[in-house]
Structure 1
Amino acid sequence: MTAEELLERLVGFPTVAGTSNFDLMDFVADYLRDLGAQVHVLPGPEGDRQNLFATLGDPTVPGYILSGHVDVVPAGEPEWKADPFVLRREGDRLIGRGACDMKGFDAAVLAALPALAQMPLRAPIHIALSYDEELGCQGVPHMLAKLPDLCAPPLGCIVGEPSGMVPVLAHKGKAALRLIARGVAAHSSRPDLGTNAIHALIPALMQARDLAEELAQGACDARFTPPHSSLQIGVIEGGQALNIVPEQAEARIEARAIAGVDPRALLAPLTQTAGIEAEWLASYPALALAADHPLAELAAQLSGSTPLGAVSYGTEAGLFQQAGIPAIICGPGDIARAHRPEEYITRAELAAAQAMVEALGRVVSAA
């Protein structure tokens, strides 16, 4: 199957984050087994989602991972011109939810595997497909925990998030936190008989605002935009009606951390607010790969592009690095098209990603 045909199949599976991906993973597993790959389907604790790890070559030899996620964000925007889960072609554009972020890379990798299967690979090439990346990289940690039983310590990992096929050395880390205040409902004419949960939440919100201002004046890394860590209150919910004292209120807050800063540590003071419950929603570390690292040099060779210092969006690459696996970002498409209606990737971008994967096969075959 061509990369375009594979992308059509992948887009056709509506694998919205937080929902089952069994049908897509079954399709990919069968495709990989037909090529002679060793395939491990790794169920997640949720029960209806799974990761997949597959290997071409000898898994006892250190090799390289090609990493992608198969979940997508919802596609409920009214601006879609047709069913977002049916790939549509307009000129060179291949349009559909996930076409750019990041089923395009997944399809390119799968399309390259028949050629790789015919190469005398001296080092293995692994395919790592994860779930629920869009919910804060929740799936891949379960796969990373099993990796020591599946292969020798890898030499590196290429995460194919859309980067215009330019290798990216660093990205910010992220943590997300839910704060919950509980009160007692009452009629608003008798607030003395109730406890206002929204009022109880205000001190934590003010503290979050103050922390955000401190971060804007704090440590900087000029590779990022903005160059400092950041914190923002993204969602506030609470109350039923104006004439009811609200019995519950919550806020969801996120922090983005420059390399070298623990994103959870930025939010940790909020978890100590008196009378407030705190629940961690997600977190992943920043990525920081040295420009002279062999993986950076390899990615430059494979892509034909000089590595970029950093991007401000986050990926699973930081988690691979945290697990002791050097990681870099390099994938087709533009991140500006992600999470938007009429999301697309071009045929040329798809072809460039497939060419990069096949080039990796030639490099490890000549090693």
Structure 2
Amino acid sequence: MQAAEILEKLVGFRSVVGLPNEDIVAWIRGYLESHGIAVAVLPGPEGDRSNLFATIGPMDVSGYILSGHMDVVPAAESGWTSDPFRLRAEADRLYGRGTTDMKGFLAAVLAAVPSLAAMPLRRPLHLAFSYDEEAGCRGVPHMIPRLPELCREPLGAIIGEPSGMRAIRAHKGKAAARLMVRGRSGHSSRPDLGLNAIHGVAGVLTQAVAEADRLTQGPFAHVFEPPYSSLQIGTVKGGQAVNIIPDSCEVEFEARAISGIDPAELLAPVRKTAEALAAQGFEVEWQELSAYPALSLEPHALLAALLEELTGLAPLPAVSYGTEAGLFQRAGIDAIICGPGEIGRAHKPDEYILVDELLACQTMVEALGARCSA
């Protein structure tokens, strides 16, 4: 099958983040097994979602991981000019949810499988396809610890997030959390009898804004834009009516960290202020939503040199968005980002990828196979 045909199949699966993904996993598994590739389906703790791992080539030596996620963000936003879960071709553009982020990479890799399977590979290529990346990389942490039983220690991992087929060596880490504060309701004319949850949260919001301002003063890593870590309040929900004392308030926070800083630690002062509300009689719950570390691959790393050789382009030093690459690196596996499409097309109506971008990615994967056969 051509890459565009495979992409049509993949886009047709509504593998939206947080939902069951049995259908897309089964199709990919069947496709790989039809080419004689052994596949391991690795169910996550949710019970209805799985990671997938497969090896092409010898099992007893180290090779390279080609990593991508099977989930996509929802497509409920207005502005789509066609069904987002049905691939539409128009000139050299292929439209559909996930075409760029990142089923295009999966399709290009799968299109290369027949060629790879026919090569005399001396080093293996591993396919590591995850779930729920769009919820903060929740799926791949259940696959990475199982790699020692699935393969020899990898030489590196190529994460195929859209990068214009130019390798990227670094990205920021991220942590997100939800705060839920419960007070006591009542009529607004008797505030002395209630416990206003929004009033309680106000001090936490002030603390978060102060922390966000403080982070702009450094430390700095000038490969990023902005060159410092950041923190923001993403959502605030609470109250029913102006004359009712609000008995609950929910806030979501996000922190993004430059290399060398734990993003969860950036939220620690906010959490401390929130938990202090318990002394005032509030019920406080702090829930971590997601967390993944930054990626930082050295400029002269062998993996960076390999990707420059395969693409003909010098790697970019960094991007500010995050990927699963930092999790691979934290597990001791060198990782780098390189995939088809442009990140600016992702998460918006009429997401698309170019046919030539798919072919360029397939060519890169096949060139990696040829190098592993030398």
Q: Could you tell me the TM-score, scaled by structure 1's length?
A: 0.99
- 3-state SS in 1 of match to 2:207: helix
Q: 1:355 aligns with which of 348, 354, 363?
A: 363
| Whole-Å separation in 1 of the counterparts to 2:263 and 2:285 | 19
Query: Displacement, 1:293?
Result: 0.4
Identity within the alignment, %: 61
Deviations 1:34-56 (A, max 9, x none): 11112000000011110000001
> What letter matches 2:84 in structure 1?
P
Match of 1:146 in 2: 146
Q: 1:365 aligns with which of 336, 358, 373?
A: 373
Query: Displacement, 1:59?
Result: 2.1
> What letter matches 1:245 in structure 2?
I
Match of 2:290 in 1: 282
Deviations 1:278-328 (A, max 9, x none): 111100000000111000000111111110000000000000000111000
1:38-57 mapped onto 2 (5 Å cutoff): 38-57=38-57
Q: Which runs of 5+ in 2 are unaligned?
A: 278-283
> What letter matches 1:168 in structure 2?
I
| Whole-Å separation in 2 of the counterparts to 1:10 and 1:193 | 57
Q: Could you tell me the TM-score, scaled by structure 2's length?
A: 0.97
Q: What is the RMSD computed on CA atoms of the aligned residues?
A: 0.7
> What letter matches 1:357 in structure 2?
V
> What letter matches 2:371 in structure 1?
V
Query: Displacement, 1:60?
Result: 2.2
| Whole-Å separation in 2 of the counterparts to 1:22 and 1:154 | 27
> What letter matches 1:330 in structure 2?
C
Match of 1:184 in 2: 184
| Whole-Å separation in 2 of the counterparts to 1:39 and 1:61 | 18
Query: Displacement, 1:191?
Result: 1.5
| Whole-Å separation in 1 of the counterparts to 2:253 and 2:286 | 11
Match of 2:130 in 1: 130
Deviations 1:309-366 (A, max 9, x none): 0000000000000011100000000000000000000000000000000000000000
Q: 2:353 aligns with which of 334, 341, 345?
A: 345
> What letter matches 1:319 in structure 2?
L
Query: Displacement, 1:179?
Result: 1.2
> What letter matches 1:354 in structure 2?
Q
1:215-234 mapped onto 2 (5 Å cutoff): 215-234=215-234
Match of 2:80 in 1: 80
| Whole-Å separation in 2 of the counterparts to 1:81 and 1:135 | 26
Match of 2:117 in 1: 117
Match of 1:37 in 2: 37
| Whole-Å separation in 1 of the counterparts to 2:59 and 2:215 | 44
> What letter matches 1:297 in structure 2?
A
Match of 2:18 in 1: 18
| Whole-Å separation in 2 of the counterparts to 1:228 and 1:247 | 36
| Whole-Å separation in 1 of the counterparts to 2:221 and 2:230 | 12
Which 10-residue stretch deviates more, 288-297 or 235-244? 235-244
Deviations 1:141-174 (A, max 9, x none): 0000111111110000000000000000000000
> What letter matches 1:53 in structure 2?
F
**Total equivalences in the alignment:** 366
Q: 1:271, 1:277 within 8 Å by CA — same for their partners in 2?
A: no
Deviations 1:116-144 (A, max 9, x none): 00000000000000000000000000000
> What letter matches 1:99 in structure 2?
T
Q: Which runs of 5+ in 1 are unaligned?
A: none
| Whole-Å separation in 1 of the counterparts to 2:167 and 2:59 | 26
Tell whether 2:195 aligns with 1:195.
yes
- 3-state SS in 1 of match to 2:176: strand
| Whole-Å separation in 1 of the counterparts to 2:271 and 2:146 | 31
> What letter matches 2:248 in structure 1?
Q
| Whole-Å separation in 2 of the counterparts to 1:277 and 1:97 | 35
- 3-state SS in 2 of match to 1:364: helix
Runs of 4+ off more than 6 Å: none
> What letter matches 2:321 in structure 1?
Y
Q: 1:8, 1:87 within 8 Å by CA — same for their partners in 2?
A: yes
| Whole-Å separation in 1 of the counterparts to 2:244 and 2:46 | 37
Deviations 1:247-268 (A, max 9, x none): 1101100000001111011011
Match of 2:311 in 1: 303
- 3-state SS in 2 of match to 1:102: helix
Q: 1:177, 1:282 within 8 Å by CA — same for their partners in 2?
A: yes
> What letter matches 2:289 in structure 1?
L
| Whole-Å separation in 2 of the counterparts to 1:35 and 1:243 | 66
Q: 1:67, 1:127 within 8 Å by CA — same for their partners in 2?
A: yes
Query: Displacement, 1:277?
Result: 2.4
Q: 1:173, 1:287 within 8 Å by CA — same for their partners in 2?
A: yes
Deviations 1:1-47 (A, max 9, x none): 11000000000001110001100000000111111112000000011
